[in-house]
Amino acid sequence: MALTEDNKQRRPTRAPFSNHVWPILKTALLTLGSIAVTLIGLVFITFVIGRVMPIDPVLAIVGERASQATYDEVYFQLGLDKPVIVQFLYYLWDVVHLDFGISLLNARPVSEDIARVFPATLELATLGIFFGVVLGIPLGVLAAVHKGSWIDQIARVVALVGYSMPIFWLGLMGLLVFYGILGWVGGPGRVGIFYIDVVPSVTGLILVDTALAGNWDAFKNAFSHIILPASLLGYFSLAYISRMTRSFMLEQLSAEYITTARVKGMSEWNVVWKHAFKNIRVQLITVIALSYANLLEGSVLTEIIFSWPGIGSYITTALLSADMNAVLGGTVVVGLIFILLNIFSDLLYRVFDPRAK
């Protein structure tokens, strides 16, 4: 049957393909632009720090007893005779190519050193955030559901202690009690002295490498060494996550839709987990991402106390030795981690919250 003119006019028309593609492309371009601006700002800050530090990079390389000719040669090789803006552009170009210069401590490229030590921090922080999430979220939910009860009081005390206690003191007490007195865990370092270089380094993650090698004795030894520092970091992330979870849940449990669900006879389990908790997932994504980033960045004291060969102890050693290439390289990597975690959080927003699409 032929369509009349009226039917043709009423027939819905599809929106042009560009109307669907352009918003996505615009969002992608804005995201990439913000990432680029943030990275340039981060590199600029590290560049300025390297210039304002009261350390002569030439003397750090050639030593104080070097001749003036040697000093001048290295001075020109480093490009310090060029204008500051040109030096910054050279530095930016090197950073984009992951070239952070040569370490003064071992004469190796800083990028290789960071690639070697970063897996240790990644493994420690990942296990710590796992403990914090698995224990902190249920604790925060229970504290909100049983507001004012003994469960709530315990959760608040746990969070308060986690915020108040210095991490170095807890680390030392943990080593004294669980390693020195009870002998339940391994001591400082990633593995015992008899297991050093026993398994090949494939991923740099000691637990993964020992499991891949099938050396379960080395796996148990490595786990006994990582469990205490990871639990310590996990406790601090647990304090923050449980506190924020409790706050978010209290806000949701006081909402009208929760009252309506209870009046309709819905079980408390469904009210809490399928309704209230579902609406705080997006907020928790930000909390967990920030906690994870803080563990990756702020595990310096933990790594020093437990002799953990991660990026925190690497940067600290480099700073004490005036190895600014290593310090600035590690700083850029830590800042890049924050940026990547923020991007990952934005992607998760679009998964859990349809309104963000």
pLDDT profile of the chain (357 residues), mean per 10: 51 53 69 78 80 71 75 76 82 83 82 90 92 92 89 88 82 89 86 83 88 90 92 90 91 85 83 85 86 80 87 84 82 83 77 62
- Segments forming the whole domain that contains residue 124: 118-356
The domain total for the chain is 2
CA distance 173 to 65: 45
Burial of 277: CB neighbours in 10 Å, binned 0-12, 13-18, 19+: buried
- 62 and 210 together in one domain: no
- 33 and 157 together in one domain: no
The type of residue at 196 is I
CA distance 125 to 300: 11
Instruction: Tell me which long-range contacts 52-55 makes (C-beta under 8 A, separation of at least 24).
Output: 53/324, 55/322, 55/324
- 86 and 234 together in one domain: no
285, 244 contact by CB (below 8 A)? no
- 58 and 183 together in one domain: no
Q: So what's the pLDDT on residue 13? A: 53
Q: Which of 72, 91, 110 is the last residue of a domain?
A: 91
CA distance 115 to 96: 16
- 161 and 265 together in one domain: yes
139, 238 contact by CB (below 8 A)? yes
44 found inside a domain: yes
Pure H helices in 176-265: 206-213, 216-253, 256-263
- 87 and 123 together in one domain: no
CA distance 241 to 290: 10
- 159 and 283 together in one domain: yes
Q: What is the CATH number of the domain that holds 183?
A: 1.10.3720.10
Q: Which of 91, 110, 137 is the last residue of a domain?
A: 91
Q: Which of 48, 72, 91 is the last residue of a domain?
A: 91
230, 190 contact by CB (below 8 A)? no
Q: State pTM to two decimals.
A: 0.80
97 found inside a domain: no
- 72 and 129 together in one domain: no
CA distance 164 to 240: 12
- 60 and 151 together in one domain: no
Q: So what's the pLDDT on residue 224? A: 92
In Å, the largest CA–CA distance within the chain is: 99
Q: What is the dihedral of CA 271, 287, 162, 234, to 10 degrees?
A: 100
- 306 and 217 together in one domain: yes
